[in-house]
Amino acid sequence: MTKYPMTVRGARALEEELAHLTKVVRPKLSQDIGTARELGDLKENAEYHAAREQQGMVEARIRDIEGRLQNAVVIDVTGIAHTGKVIFGTTVEIANVETDESVTYQIVGEDEADIKLGKLSVGSPIARALVGKEEGDVVAVKTPSGIVEYEIVEVRHI
């Protein structure tokens, strides 16, 4: 069985989505299906078929979230001693060695990744290059435009 590393925030977000889907969306879809049934012939009832299709997608998402939460390994990085080493859940400030531009990322699970919010999937090339390294280390990251070197400026447990 696959284990899914997840931050505390990521697990909480999935739990909130699951609660919303099961307590709000699912009942509304059942009501919509009932209303659409009353419109007559189900063979040519677009509202009914659309509601059933939506219901199928919602049920699939519910099962996916339940499976992920059941197999989640929730890691609270704030409870781990700070050693300056990049590990899952840490927030890392890195600087491009060539341009001196700095950027900050948090290493998170696949479900939480959002580059616009500075959240990198632990499976991404940059995260894979950073994990296990320490503040002051220089890492080489293979990008589509070639190898880019980054210096690890700071590792935070937040």
CATH number at residue 66: 1.10.287.180
Average pLDDT over residues 98-111: 94
Amino acid at the residue 55: Q
One domain, residues 18 and 68 = yes
Hey, which residues does 156 pair with through a beta bridge? 91
- 50 lies in which domain range? 4-75
pLDDT at 33: 87
55-58 contacts at long range (C-beta below 8 A, 24 or more positions apart)? 55/26, 55/29, 55/30, 58/21, 58/25, 58/26, 58/29
pLDDT at 2: 81
One domain, residues 40 and 69 = yes
One domain, residues 59 and 19 = yes
Residue 75 is classified by DSSP as E
One domain, residues 69 and 83 = no
Residue 135 confidence (pLDDT) above 80: yes
**Model-level pTM?**
0.81
The crossing angle, in degrees rounded to 10, of helices 26-37 and 46-70 is 160
Least confident span in 17-26, 32-41, 118-127: 32-41
Number of domains in the chain: 2
